[in-house]
Amino acid sequence: VREQGEPVTKVAKRFRISRQRVYKILSQFDAGGADAIAPKSRAPHTHP
């Protein structure tokens, strides 16, 4: 978005996500780099 100068609306439509989600991803990237937006496991840490 920032390097290409592409509008957030266009990016959101391409990935079929909301503009708000695009802004959230950009914010997470700014705070922690690529690792901050990498997919993470949603599995529980322990099993009962």
For residue 32, is it within any domain?
yes
CA distance 14 to 21: 13
Domain count, the chain: 1
Closest CA to 11 of 40, 39, 3: 3
Q: Residues in the chain with pLDDT < 50?
A: none
For residue 18, is it within any domain?
yes
- In this predicted structure, what is the pLDDT of residue 46? 84
- The separation between the first and the last C-alpha atoms of the chain, rounded to the nearest angstrom, is 43
**CA-CA distances (angstroms) from residue 34 to 26, 30, 45?**
10, 9, 23
For residue 1, is it within any domain?
no
Residue 40 tokens read as: 């993470």
For residue 22, is it within any domain?
yes
**Segments forming the whole domain that contains residue 26:** 8-36
For residue 19, is it within any domain?
yes
- In this predicted structure, what is the pLDDT of residue 17? 96
